[in-house]
């Protein structure tokens, strides 16, 4: 029988048990889970769920692709950046809320609306509560925060966990400055920075390519399994 790892972050926000699996599983395994539940499956290959289980709904809200860039010698910043401070939290949360329309949770109609309203806020709060992420940088001008980037570091790999720009500051080079600041601040010759985005997020894909990121071969199919 497949063992399911609980995603405590999602469980707390959605109000019932949430699990995550990073491999292909058989749909008959769902019957061992107590309803209601929410299960995320991330698979490198498309899954064909042949057998049906009563009370189970399966969605494929996103296909994730990944980009990679190696260290560059001290690159130029269009705008100043710095480490986030506790007093920045509300401004950062407001920016995060403005940038949630393309997430896998927002496009899934079976996700409760109360979850959609607060999950990005809690994501940011978890950094300040030391529960998620290793570095949080902001871009600013005249003491106004314009965007932020949240980084998770695993050995020599820096993963962009979340990056967002304030709605009224878009197309001003903010994301570019944040990524280049991360390069200058954290990276050495042996480091790589990884960015993931949805296959249909054309603006993000264009930005990463412009910044010298190379698309990796793998694609992740992200399935949502709802047990009601």
The whole-angstrom separation of Cα 98 and Cα 2 is 37
The whole-angstrom separation of Cα 38 and Cα 108 is 12
Give me the mean pLDDT over the 87-93 stretch. 96
Q: Residue 89: which pLDDT band, with cuts at 50, 70 and 90?
A: very high
Contact at 8 Å (CB) between 172 and 189?
no
The whole-angstrom separation of Cα 72 and Cα 77 is 13
Q: Extract the tokens encoding 192.
A: 């790589």
The three state secondary structure string of 36-90 is: CEEEEEEECCCCCCCCCCCCEEEEEEEEEEEEEEECCCCCCCCCCEEECCHHHHH
Q: Which of 62-71, 97-106, 185-194, 205-214 has the lowest mean pLDDT?
A: 97-106
Q: Residue 23: which pLDDT band, with cuts at 50, 70 and 90?
A: confident
Cβ contacts of 21 within 8 Å, gap of 6 or more: 2, 4, 5, 39, 40, 41, 42
Give me the mean pLDDT over the 204-224 stretch. 93
Asked if residue 96 has pLDDT above 60, the reply is yes
pTM above 0.85, yes or no: yes
* Side-chain-facing half-sphere of 36: CA atoms under 13 Å: 11
Asked if residue 42 has pLDDT above 60, the reply is yes
C-alpha separations of 184 from 35, 134, 209 in Å: 48, 16, 19
Helix crossing, 202-210 with 174-186: angle to 10°?
Answer: 50
Q: Residue 24: which pLDDT band, with cuts at 50, 70 and 90?
A: low
**What pLDDT is stored for residue 171 in this prediction?**
85
How does strand 81-83 pair with strand 135-141? antiparallel
Asked if residue 29 has pLDDT above 90, the reply is no
The whole-angstrom separation of Cα 188 and Cα 72 is 8
**What pLDDT is stored for residue 228 in this prediction?**
85
| Residue ranges of domains in the chain, CATH in brackets | 5-62 (no CATH), 67-219 (3.40.630.30)
| Alpha-helix runs per DSSP H in the chain | 8-14, 89-97, 113-128, 174-186, 202-210
Could you tell me how far CA 169 lies from the centroid of its own chain? 21
Asked if residue 102 has pLDDT above 80, the reply is no
Give me the mean pLDDT over the 143-163 stretch. 95
Task: State yes or no: cis peptide before 194, omega within 30 of 0.
Answer: no
Asked if residue 181 has pLDDT above 80, the reply is yes
Q: What whole-number percentage of the chain has pLDDT above 90?
A: 68
**What pLDDT is stored for residue 2 in this prediction?**
62
**What pLDDT is stored for residue 101 in this prediction?**
66
**Buried/exposed 62-74: b ≥16 CB within 10 Å, e otherwise:** bebbbbebebeee
Average pLDDT, the chain: 90
The whole-angstrom separation of Cα 72 and Cα 158 is 14
Q: Residue 185: which pLDDT band, with cuts at 50, 70 and 90?
A: very high
Give me the mean pLDDT over the 173-200 stretch. 94
């Amino acid at each position: 029988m497949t063992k399911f790892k609980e995603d405590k972050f999602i469980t707390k926000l959605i109000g019932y048990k949430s699990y995550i699996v990073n491999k292909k599983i058989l749909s008959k395994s769902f019957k061992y889970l107590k309803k209601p539940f929410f299960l995320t499956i991330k698979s490198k290959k498309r899954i064909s769920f042949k057998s049906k289980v009563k009370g189970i709904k399966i969605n494929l809200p996103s296909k994730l692709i990944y980009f990679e860039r190696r260290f560059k010698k001290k690159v130029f910043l269009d705008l100043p950046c710095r480490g986030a401070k506790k007093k920045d939290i509300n401004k950062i949360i407001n920016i995060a809320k403005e940038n949630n329309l393309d997430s896998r949770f927002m496009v899934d109609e079976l996700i409760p609306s109360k979850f959609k309203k607060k999950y990005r806020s809690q994501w940011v709060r978890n950094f300040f509560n030391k529960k998620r992420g290793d570095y949080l940088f902001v871009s600013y001008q005249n003491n106004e925060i314009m965007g932020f980037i949240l980084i998770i570091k695993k050995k020599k790999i820096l993963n962009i966990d979340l990056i967002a720009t304030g709605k009224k500051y878009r197309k001003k080079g903010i994301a570019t400055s944040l990524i280049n600041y991360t390069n200058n601040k954290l990276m050495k010759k042996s480091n790589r920075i990884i960015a993931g985005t949805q296959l249909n997020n054309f603006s993000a894909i264009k930005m990463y390519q412009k910044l010298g990121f190379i698309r990796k071969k793998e694609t992740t199919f992200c399935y949502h399994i709802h047990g009601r």
